[in-house]
Structure 1
Amino acid sequence: MSWPAVRDNTSPFERFLLGAPEGAVDKFFSSWSPDLIMHLRSVNSNVFMGIEAYVSRAWSIERSFDRWFFHAGSFLRMLEACDAVVSGSEAQQHLARHEFRGKDLDIYVPYHGLLRMGRWLKQQGFLYQASGGKHLLFDAAAIMLASAAGRDFTGYPGARFKSTVAFSTFNFVRPQTPSLKILAMDGAQVQLIAVCGDPIRFLIDNFHSTGVMNYITGTHAVSLFPRSTFVDRQMYVCQDTARDASVHQAWMAKYRDRGFTIVEAEDEVPNTPEVREWCRKIGDSRTWVLPHERSDFGQCRSNETAVAFGNYSLTWVSDDEEDTGYQ
């Protein structure tokens, strides 16, 4: 008895995504912008699985932090516990698919999470380096900052003092050892930046340009101006560059070397909704939000679940419901 031949209806592109070496797939997508890659997920289930496999490698949170910490998951849980975020170069390079390696890890933490985060860094082998007239012992320096700002470590205003301190930086370094070199853990300097209030509000109000308004929480990576930053490669200056001109020239030169165009006040601003729209909110349709935990696409789900990346979302539905696809 002969069996009918089974036709392979998969396209060459699907076979490439699912069967080619990971390095070849990664190289293929390296020049694609993230929004185009995410659009492909709606083609069919094979392409979706191939894209999800690529996304889990390209935007791997473990890869972003494995040079700093032995267990990235422990660090993410500490970010959540302290209401802290990672921003600066490390957040940008994570969203940019690790196109460069930053020198410092910048952690922005509200006053009430400062002591706990600093103690955790010390447990990971980092040493506190006092600077700027701070106390030589970290615990004492952290408590003195909170006292001067009029806040206790629950974050509530104290009764006797009012805050005059916007932020304060605490430096931690980790000496390189043979074991760390073998593990390629070359992340040696962490800047713990204590801010009065919400760290996300702080970066919006104080960062020099839109290109660095990206941050990593314990659960998501977020970019507030993703299209201009990661697609158009443009950074819009948000500060008066006439003040501290040498400082501004330094960061502009650094990002120009990385391939960005710096748009200053006298330059013409492109008419893009991301920049021109006045009523922007964190998490709006212009924002990219990339969860650290990818969807379990190998199982059917009876309830609707969304996996979001900015304004693109994949919707899982049960068999008796209509598949709404991408939005």
Structure 2
Amino acid sequence: MDSKKGLEQVKVFAPASVANVSCGFDVLGFALQSPGDEIIARRVESSSKLEIVTVTGANGMLPTSVEKNTAGVAAQMLLDYLECEFGIELEIHKKMPLGSGLGSSAASSVGAVVAVNRLLGSPLEDKELLQFAAEGERVACGTAHLDNVAPSLLGGVVFIRDQESADVFALECPKPLFATVVHPQIEIKTEDTRKILRRDIPLKKAVTQWGNVGGLVAGLLKGDYGLISRSLHDEIIEPVRSVLIPGFDKVKEAAINADVLGSGISGSGPSVFALSSTRGTAVRAGKRMQGAFDKIGLENECYISKVNEQGPQILEEK
């Protein structure tokens, strides 16, 4: 690739995401409008290497080593694939909590590959970037799962039919559809929450679960809020993971009592999400969910947003 052409610097916002969406473990996720990460990719003609020069907002908890950083790994794989002949500096500005269940590592990986791809003149389509962003997830939790990466990269609600072949597609969703996400100030590592999951599932629970997945997908496509609400139930994962989230049952109860469509764990937790058909309901649910965490003395943050159908945004080019 000719090092004398193209942009000098690109700044990208990559959104947080809610994975699983209750019943859709590892196969469903949607993007949020906020929070998210900002990644800057800068061309360096005097070098042929990728370097992470700045990481902010992580309190020193994230490595600057390319080989150990999710954004670094994803960007390096992309650069190797495209046979880039010049160096690139990355700045990673974390605008969301780590270990929150909001796809923090995915947002960084997505932001990095989108910024680098744009810096190189956009030789790949967004969906082609998915395989590179997913490798960043492997560094974070040991598995290149797509339920955070795909919605963060592609926007909207995304269904993952097959992880290995990255067979993913966007789902139309009713408009409006609002998400409330409350993040308690504790950290839960995805790799730890995956270890406690049961490997054997009773057939009756499995049948109920895939009925809910089908119902949720159909509800989204049909714009049927009632069907969405009836389907937002997790028979298998939530009962196991919820014990790691202090006050979860009360928080979920507070959301349901605010007349949301449904509520559950965002990703592997500890964040708790709810879906609503109006902003007013979403805001009311957020206040009540926060109140439930407040009662047990757990500091928390609340995010309200529509489902983000755009995905990453180019904030600056020069």
Q: Which of these two proteins has the greater Rg computed from alpha carbons?
A: 1
- Of Structure 1 and Structure 2, the greater strand share is in 2
TM-score for the superposition, normalised by structure 1: 0.27
TM-score, normalised via structure 2 length = 0.27
Which structure is higher in RCO with an 8 Å CA cutoff and minimum separation 6?
Answer: 2
